[in-house]
Amino acid sequence: MAARNSSPKILTAHVTHLEMRAPTHRHVPMPSRPRLAVMRVEMMPVAFYRYLYEQVGKPHHWYLRRVMNDADLAAIIHADTTEISVVYANGSPAGFFELDCARKPEEVELAYFGLCRDFTGMGFGKWFLATAIDAAWAHEPAKVTVHTNTLDHPAALPMYQKLGFEPVGTSEETVTEWR
| pTM of the predicted model as reported, rounded to 2 decimal places | 0.94
Predicted local distance difference test score (pLDDT) of residue 25: 83
- The CA distances from residue 117 to 9, 137, 169, in Å, are 22, 27, 28
Long-range contacts (CB closer than 8 Å, 24 or more residues apart) made by 70-76: 70/46, 73/46, 73/49, 74/46
Predicted local distance difference test score (pLDDT) of residue 3: 52
**Bridge partners, 14 (sequence order):** 172
Residues of the chain where predicted confidence (pLDDT) is lower than 70: 1-5
**Alpha carbons 179 and 16: distance in angstroms, whole number:** 24
Architecture of domain 25-176: 3-Layer(aba) Sandwich (3.40)
Predicted local distance difference test score (pLDDT) of residue 4: 59
**Alpha carbons 55 and 96: distance in angstroms, whole number:** 10
